Amino acid sequence: MPQIIAVIAPGAMGANVGHKLVEAGNVVLTSLEGRSDATRERAKKAGMVDASWSDIVQKADIVLSIIPPRDALSFAQRLLREHNSLNRTDKDPLVFADCNAVNVDTIKSIAALFTESPIAFLDGCIIGGPPSGNYVPTFYGSANPGDEKGLKLFEEVIGRSGIKVRLLSGEGSGIGNASALKMSYAGISKGLTGLFTTIILAAHTNSPATSEALLQELSDSQPELLERITRAVPAMIPKAYRWVGEMEEIAGFVGGGEGDIYHGMSQIYARVERSIEEGNGDVDVLKSFVDAAKQRI
């Protein structure tokens, strides 16, 4: 049965997910309040419908939150406020899946907002990039005991659109499972990219000759790492601003002194972002290292 699904917000991920859900025959609502022309255009192309907050909380069967991690809590607070100010009649309780890259403590404090509410709250995460052509990412979901019905709906609506979906269920499962997986996976994949970025810049700062010797040695002894650098570093540059907050979430997930590694990762991504804005050369250093690496693989 087609559903009414709200996808907030229509960024690169949200709009492409929205498009898959529209293609599967669902009505996909979004909020374009205060959004740029480019975002409005992206949402329109995806077939998403601009809706007011009251329409979203009254009409949607399920809301998917797909936003930068630093906005996850305030979005959930707003959703709850809007929901409480209106009467949702003749419908099953609203299902709300937070699909953002936040850590276990953060998702638990968001979930705590909903304990007195009829809203069924789900912990979700997305692994992979936006759907494109035949490529689809994987959505993971977990829920506290009692919210299985909401989790089933999440699995159905996402699965029917052709996007991969896996539930983390079974003994002891609950809010936190999907977020823990996201933190672990991103800690490795985006952590590796952060490590490459940090050292390429440090080697260059020491001396361009160090950079050249590093490239030579990687090409001789670690060609698979060099190949990964040529893919991962350029793909990261336009997304660096989004990874700043995500790295802070991972720092909290890891905890202790080891967690500081990810405070450092957050700083390296902030530095890349600053370089894009100020044109201070770091991005040029990264790009020329990648170009030189491509000559050697």
Ligand X SMILES: *[C@@H]1O[C@H](CO)[C@@H](O)[C@H](O)[C@H]1NC(C)=O
CA atoms within 13 A on the CB side of 157: 28
H or E element, residue 197: helix 177-206
Q: Which of residues 176-205 bind ligand X (CB under 6 A)?
A: 176-177
87 binds ligand X (CB under 6 A): yes
CB of 168 to ligand X, least distance (A): 4
Check binding of 86 to ligand X (CB under 6 A). Answer: yes
User: Residue 172 interacts with ligand X (CB under 6 A)?
Assistant: yes
Q: Which is nearer to ligand X, 15 or 107 (CB)?
A: 107
Looking at the Cβ atoms of 69 and 176, the one nearer to ligand X is 176
Q: State which of residues 170, 221, 224, 295 lies at the interface with ligand X (CB under 6 A).
A: 170
Stretch of residues binding ligand X (CB under 6 A), selected from 22-30, 34-42, 169-177, 218-226: 169-177
Distance CA 182, CA 108 (A): 15
Q: Which stretch binds ligand X (CB under 6 A): 146-154, 156-164, 167-175, 192-200?
A: 167-175
Burial 134-156, CB ≥16 within 10 A → b, else e: eebbebbbbbbeebeebbebbbe
Closest Cα partner for 232 from 261, 269, 194? 194
Told to check if 173 binds ligand X by CB under 6 A, we report yes
CA distance 269 to 264: 9
Q: If binding is defined by CB under 6 A, does position 115 make contact with ligand X?
A: no
Using CA atoms, how far apart are residues 198 and 148, in angstroms rounded to an integer?
43
Q: Which is nearer to ligand X, 87 or 221 (CB)?
A: 87
Give the neighbor-by-neighbor strand order of the sheet with 95-98. 49-50, 27-30, 4-8, 62-65, 95-98, 120-127, 138-142, 164-167
User: What's the rounded Cα separation, in Å, for the pair 194 and 236?
Assistant: 9
Question: Which region, judged by CB under 6 A, interacts with ligand X, from 13-21, 45-53, 165-173, 268-276?
Answer: 165-173
CA dihedral 114, 116, 117, 122 (to 10 degrees): 30
Stretch that binds ligand X, among 56-64, 71-79, 120-128, 164-172 (CB under 6 A): 164-172
Name the residue with the smallest CB distance to ligand X.
172
Closer residue to ligand X (CB): 86 or 209: 86
Whose Cβ is closer to ligand X: residue 10's or residue 176's?
A: 176
How far, in Å, CA of 47 to CA of 31, rounded?
13
Structure tokens at 75: 């979005």
- Closest approach, Cβ 161 to ligand X, in A, equals 23
State the Cα–Cα distance between residues 252 and 269, nearest whole angstrom: 17
Least Å from the CB of residue 125 to ligand X = 12
Single out the segment in contact with ligand X by CB under 6 A; choices: 8-16, 173-181, 189-197, 240-248.
173-181
The residue ranges that bind ligand X (CB under 6 A) are 86-87, 168, 170, 172-174, 176-177
